[in-house]
Structure 1
Amino acid sequence: MGPDSSQDAQTVSQMGEFGLIDRVISGREQSPGTLIGPGDDAAVLAAPDGRVVATTDVLVENVHFRFDWSTPHQVGRKAVAVNLSDIAAMGAVPTGLLVGLGCSPDLPTHVVDELSAGMWEEAQQVGIGLVGGDMVSAATLTISVTALGDLQGRAPVTRAGARPGDVVAVAGRLGWAAAGLAVLGRGFRSPVAVVGAQRVPEPPYAAGPLAAAAGATSMVDTSDGLLADLGHVADASKVAIDIRAELLEVPQRLTEVASALGADARHWVLTGGEDQALAATFPPDRPLPEGWRQIGEVAEGSGVTLDGAVYEGTTGWEHWR
């Protein structure tokens, strides 16, 4: 159904809350672990492990996304991805999503359709669905997603377990979304791969549970930037973390884009968030699991350094700064 159809010309106020909810959930398949899905006062999910991992992210229009840079479908995928990566960072597998949507009464219903289609597409990459949520009137389009997960009998991998002597490793892309943001900010729409990384991240969902099974001592989602989020690990674990520049991959494509923009590709890799990569620490006496690559070591002390020196400049994203 295209945006010129009579239904797509409708606004959310004309459709009404329950009509919108029906459009979001109608015809969608839930995971086997969803015992009661949308349509009741609350959903009921199976929790085989006996523990539930829960996380929430809020995305606000013109702060976390812009429709002149991304389609509603891409924004829907991103809203889900940033939450599912947090579940993976605990070493868990996702089980379900709750979505809250605040929007103006005159928002076209086709925008909600495209947002929800993107959410469902990303959710079904890990075999889950939207099990419930809420829709309210708001001056600014706001998307709140809560993701739930299961530890499958493993201990949660927190930020507080890194030990001196551990290996620091990452899984997933670093710097691509930051490069895409820089490109979009200059008014360009290519290279497509770089811009696409900003519009829709590709978190390594399977790498989190693999790291947990391999004995990871700590883990974090690098949504605020590698240095900033490893700083959280160092603080929580009361250790020092040193990143070795020779182990840090700076893709040639990012180097080319940085050269064209007069920027520093390594800065994007070290400080750019939104790729939703994972960083973890592992005991030094065992091989890294598939998809993980070493970038540094843990030592006695505090803080994060690059080749033993404090990094000069901004280390990552901070709200309200």
Structure 2
Amino acid sequence: MAPRRLSDLPEGEVLGHLFPLFAGTKGAAPVLLGPGDDAAVLAAPSGGVVLTTDSMVRGRDWLDEWSSGHEVGRKVVAQNVADVAAMGAVPTGLLVALAADPHTELEWVLDLAAGIAAAAQDAGAPVLGGDLSSAEEGTVVVAITATGDLGGRPPVRRDGARPGDLVAVRGHLGRSGGGLQLLLAGRGRTHLDGEAGPGERAVDELCRVHRTAGRPPWEEGPRAADAGATSMIDVSDGLVRDLGRVARASGLRIELSGSALAQQAAGPLTEALGAADALRQVLSGGEEHSLAATFAPGAVPQGWQVLGECVAGEPAVLVDGQVPEVTGWDHFAG
């Protein structure tokens, strides 16, 4: 049987396939009106709403030969929920927009929706609605807008770090970038490959994190805020680039420890890439969506790894006193 494509069904029937996939997603904030009307209505318990949006473009942010629709769905949710967490907020809802070539297979779209629903349920952020649109031949764009609630906390911004604060990270670094490096070199593993053998597990781990963003530590954002985090950021464009944003916003220098970074490089990264490339990915690999934050000494929550400290000086990020050669990802410069 030929695969069904979006052009084979009226829009209402496509939505009729999608809505049931999202119906089971539940969250902390009451949904007063869900999908099906002109807009959704979500309660804002603390009176303040955190908003963020991210998009993924086929051919730029994923390749179908590498990633399944389900993996793309999980990744686009992870990107957004990590941004909410980086403000110290709890995710409360998602709006999903899809612009697709009408010849896109319906089963791929349903797989995408299932991935979004699974990640939304895990994050406690129900799908509230969204938009469906046609696009030029070959084009598929998935965009999500996420909402969050601060629970009465002030937002944790990038400009609050102070000299003497410790810099810490929750989650791993470099694995997504390492997976991308392997895939670009033709040494990676895709969604079409079977179970990884004993000698492939490190490569499989890195590629899986790249294809799905793994599971960002979104619960740790509010926890860090409660512990007194003075600044926080989602590591999406590489540690050096993202901490550089904190350094510039806060007007100080961040000094990282090479030995602490080497701990992040150990394990699957070094096994799959070698020590030099592993460290390079820890410093510059993007799409990791771990959280980096600054804390007063003695306030770093359990489970966070201290990487360095903030000091007075010209805004910069140094490793053992040296400017690293890598910078991270830029969406237009590369």
**Cα distance between partner residues in 1 of 2:178 and 2:273:** 8
Aligned equivalents of 1:263, 1:185: Cα separation in 2: 18
Tell me the distance in 2 between the aligned counterparts of 1:175 and 1:224.
11
The one-letter code sitting in structure 1 at the alignment partner of 2:126 is G
2:103 is matched by which residue type in structure 1?
D
2:6 alignment counterpart: 12
- 1:30 Cα offset (Å): 4.3
Q: Quote the Cα distance in structure 1 between the aligned partners of 2:110 and 2:103.
A: 14
Deviation readout 1:63-102 (Å, 9 max, x if unpaired): 1111101111000100111000000000000000001101
In the TM superposition, residue 217 of structure 1 has moved relative to its aligned partner by 0.1
Matches within 5 A, 1:98-117: 98-117=95-114
Q: Which runs of 4+ in 1 moved over 4 A?
A: none
Partner of 1:232: 245
- Tell me, in whole angstroms, the C-alpha distance in 1 between the residues paired with 2:24 and 2:270: 42
- Structure 2 unaligned segments of length 5 or more: list them: 190-199
Question: Using the alignment, how far apart are the partners of 2:147 and 2:321 within structure 1?
Answer: 38
Give the % identical residues.
47
Deviation per CA, 1:193-234: give whole Å up to 9, x if none.
111111111211111111000000000001000000000000
Is the 8 Å Cα contact of residues 228 and 299 (structure 2) preserved in structure 1? no
- Give, in whole Å, the separation in 2 of the partners of 1:310 and 1:263: 16
2:205/2:268 contact within 8 Å kept? no
Q: Which residue, out of 52, 56, 70, partners 2:53?
A: 56
CA distance in 2, matches of 1:295, 1:315: 17
Partner of 2:177: 178
| Matching of residue 317 in structure 1 with residue 311 in structure 2 | no
Counterpart AA for 1:35: L
The residue correspondences of 1:122-133 to structure 2 (distance < 5 A) are 122-133=119-130
The answer as to whether partners of 2:25 and 2:117 remain within 8 angstroms in 1 is no
Contact 2:96-2:129 within 8 A present in 1 as well = yes
Q: Deviations over 1:141-188 (max 9, x none)?
A: 001110000001111001010000000000011011111111111223
Give the counterpart of 1:37 among 25, 34, 39.
Answer: 34
In structure 2, what is the Cα distance between the partners aligned to 1:243 and 1:53? 30
What's the offset of the Cα at 1:263?
5.5
Q: Which residue of 1 aligns with 2:206?
A: 194
2:273 paired residue among 258, 265, 289: 258
> What is the one-letter code of the residue matched to 2:10?
G
Once the two structures are superposed, what CA deviation does each residue of 1:94-128 show, in whole Å capped at 9, x if it has no partner?
Answer: 00000110100111100110000000000100222
| 2:305 paired residue number | 293
CA distance in 2, matches of 1:96, 1:291: 27
User: Given that residues 224 and 273 in structure 1 are in contact (C-alpha distance below 8 angstroms), is that contact kept between their aligned partners in structure 2?
Assistant: yes
Identify if the C-alpha distance between structure 1 residues 315 and 47 changes in structure 2 by more than 3 Å, giving closer, same or farther.
same
State the partner residue of 1:160: 159
Which TM-score applies when normalising by structure 1? 0.94
Distance, in Å, in 2 between the alignment partners of 1:310 and 1:46 is 46
TM-score scaled by structure 2? 0.90
In structure 1, the partner of 2:194 is none
Worse-superposed segment, 241-250 or 94-103: 241-250
Number of aligned residues:
311
Partners of 1:258 and 1:294 lie apart in 2 by 24
Partner letter of residue 20 of structure 1? V
